[in-house]
Amino acid sequence: MTTHFITAEIDLQENPLKLKQEIETKLNQEGKPLRWAITSVDETKKQAKVEAIVTK
């Protein structure tokens, strides 16, 4: 098992619960997330930048 630092761009959702589900779905494609955080939001592009540590 190895850990990796990844970043992802996620489209903002109207419902915060859907945003959390979208983030977790995207991170699960890369491995098992240990922790993640939204580090910035671009309101013009309607995207959030997420940084995470995942294990593979």
Of how many residues is the chain composed? 56
Give me the domain span that covers residue 43: 3-55
Average pLDDT over the chain reads 94
Q: What are phi and psi of 29, to 5 degrees?
A: -70, -25
9-36 tens-digit pLDDT: 999 988 888 999 999 999 999 999 999 9
Number of structural domains in the chain: 1
pTM of structure: 0.87
Q: Which secondary structure element, helix H or strand E, spans residue 50, and what is its range? A: strand 47-55
